[in-house]
Amino acid sequence: MDVSIIIVSYNSAALLTNCLISLRAADGPEKELFVVDNCSTDKSTSLTAELFPEVGLIVNKENRGFGAANNQALKKCAGRYVIFLNPDTTVKPDTLQKAVAFMETNPHIGLAGAKILNPDGTLQESVSYRYPGEKYTSGETAGLEGNIACVLGAFMIVRRPLIDELRGFDEDFFLYGEDQDLAWRIREKGFAVGYIEDAHVFHLGGQSETGTPPLALFEKKIKAEYLFYTKHYKPETIAKIKKAEKIKAIFRLITLKISFLFSRRKEVIKNKIDRYRLVYKMSDTGRRKDYGNI
């Protein structure tokens, strides 16, 4: 088996169907498909079972999060490479072929991302060269291989022996930050993160959290960042980040409260105030258990 493809789905029946149709039409390599459903309440599981009998379907009774769900299927994979793919994507017919060829000809690459495109064909930003808060570090990233920090988790191809050695994703990350953490750990093992320019993936984006209130979504993202800090940065680096975030939050809260008195867009200002209150609160929190698996 050349490649195992894992898709974690949550209430994304129509999008998942389009994704699987594109994978079915994709040119070689030899592939196997897994869908892990995180307790969807739509027709995701019944449609997948009916329309795509070739797919290995895992149905969870609760939402276990992105990393944990991927790890469930990872244990069943037989491919030399594993692709983690979002359900709100479609691939071009030659995408898988080009992704595997890239990994075959670049043995120093442990994990790579594809060229991610918006539905209209415009480029979607998918490559990061710095980690969150990296400007405050003092040597933590010095030993990491390569110059790419991470790639967007919508499409990632990784060597299976390597991902097995790392035991998959850190399940403390529920939805955000797990791709950055995985890329860091792969670079620690002496492999670089790569970018496959000629492998194209269309990505809708943001579909797994359409029902989440904006402030709750912001809280999930900022908690994931702090979890990342506690895993990979020195205490003095985290202290610098917290100090900078607290100062910024205080300044913005003062200016926003003044603006609120004179603004006609009071709801917009209020939303910003709520966010900076959360930033201030997070800069006062210091335990890993306060950030993980939210």
Structure confidence at residue 264 (pLDDT): 86
Rounded distance between C-alpha atoms, residue 70 and residue 36, angstroms: 7
Rounded distance between C-alpha atoms, residue 68 and residue 74, angstroms: 10
Q: pLDDT band for position 280 (50/70/90)? A: very high
Structure confidence at residue 136 (pLDDT): 96
Q: Tell me the residue type at 238.
A: I
Do 92 and 229 fall into the same domain? no
Do 44 and 75 fall into the same domain? yes
209 has pLDDT over 60: no
Do 255 and 145 fall into the same domain? no
Give me the domain span that covers residue 282.
214-290
Encode pLDDT of 241-263 as tens digits: 999 999 999 999 999 999 988 88
172 has pLDDT over 90: yes
Domain end marker among 185, 209, 233: 209
How many CB atoms are located within 10 Å of the residue 95 CB?
A: 26
* % the chain with pLDDT above 90: 86
Number of domains composing the chain = 2
Global pTM reads 0.90
Do 278 and 168 fall into the same domain? no
Structure confidence at residue 251 (pLDDT): 95
Structure confidence at residue 208 (pLDDT): 57
Do 203 and 219 fall into the same domain? no
Do 130 and 266 fall into the same domain? no
Report CA torsion sign: 11, 14, 15, 16: positive
Alpha-helix runs per DSSP H in the chain: 13-24, 44-51, 66-74, 95-105, 160-165, 178-188, 214-232, 235-262, 266-283
Measuring CA to CA, how many Å separate 130 from each of 108, 147, 179, 189?
20, 9, 13, 18
Do 168 and 258 fall into the same domain? no
Structure confidence at residue 215 (pLDDT): 87
Do 129 and 260 fall into the same domain? no
Structure confidence at residue 214 (pLDDT): 86
Do the Cβ atoms of 110 and 32 come closer than 8 Å?
no
Encode pLDDT of 17-50 as tens digits: 999 999 999 988 999 999 999 999 998 999 999 9
Domain end marker among 209, 242, 272: 209
Report CA torsion sign: 281, 282, 285, 291: positive
Structure confidence at residue 293 (pLDDT): 47
Do 27 and 171 fall into the same domain? yes
Do 199 and 224 fall into the same domain? no
Encode pLDDT of 117-133 as tens digits: 999 999 999 999 999 99
Structure confidence at residue 206 (pLDDT): 63
CATH of the domain at 171: 3.90.550.10
What average pLDDT is seen over the chain?
Answer: 92
Domain end marker among 154, 184, 209: 209
Do 277 and 155 fall into the same domain? no
Do 257 and 135 fall into the same domain? no
192 has pLDDT over 60: yes
pLDDT, mean of residues 148-166: 97
